[in-house]
Amino acid sequence: MSSVTSPDYMSETEGPAGQQTAKNSERSQSTKSTRQSGSTFEKHDHYNGSLLHFYRVERRQMGAYLCIASNDVPPAVSKRVTLAVNFAPVVKAPNQLLGAPLGTDVQLECYVEAFPNTINYWVKNQRGTEDEMLLEG
């Protein structure tokens, strides 16, 4: 797993689906849940400790996290850390076969999910010829 870190930004490449755990001797407020496979995992809403460890990070864990330090001496302080999870593009096309009367307008669409963002383009595939990138419809 590759990573790039700075004080307030962390970028990780997505690994196989796994669990989120926090590593420290202090207690966390958690609930246990069961996966369809029968294995259990813990969901942490709050965690007391200075290290939050993600095993096999997933894209759904991407977002901003707050590390908050407080004791009996005010004020409490916090640091926002943003986790970005890099993952390969996933392309979905709601209609993979379209028909239209001659001379009418038609629109092909696809949805792309990826991080970082992608460059999207269309290619016309004709049997027996090279693919041709479309610059206009």
Strands 20-22 and 9-13: unpaired
- Considering the chain, what percentage of its residues have pLDDT values greater than 90? 39
CATH number, residue 52:
2.60.40.10
In this predicted model, which residue has the larger pLDDT, 90 or 17? 90
Q: Render the chain in DSSP notation, one character per residue.
A: --EEEETTEEEEE--SS--EEE-SSS-EEEEEEE-TTS-EEEEEEEE-SS-EEESS--GGG-EEEEEEE--SSSPPEEEEEEEEEEEEEEEE-S-S-----TT-------EEEEES------EE--TTS--EE-S--
Name the residue range of residue 32's domain.
Answer: 9-86
Residue 131 lies in a domain: no
Q: How confident is the model at residue 27 (pLDDT cuts 50, 70, 90)?
A: very low
Q: So what's the pLDDT on residue 15? A: 72
How many domains does the structure of the chain reveal?
1
Q: How confident is the model at residue 124 (pLDDT cuts 50, 70, 90)?
A: confident
Strands 111-115 and 9-13: unpaired
Residue 74 lies in a domain: yes
In this predicted model, which residue has the larger pLDDT, 104 or 34? 104
Q: So what's the pLDDT on residue 16? A: 55
Residue 121 tokens read as 């383009």
Q: So what's the pLDDT on residue 87? A: 95
Q: So what's the pLDDT on residue 50? A: 81
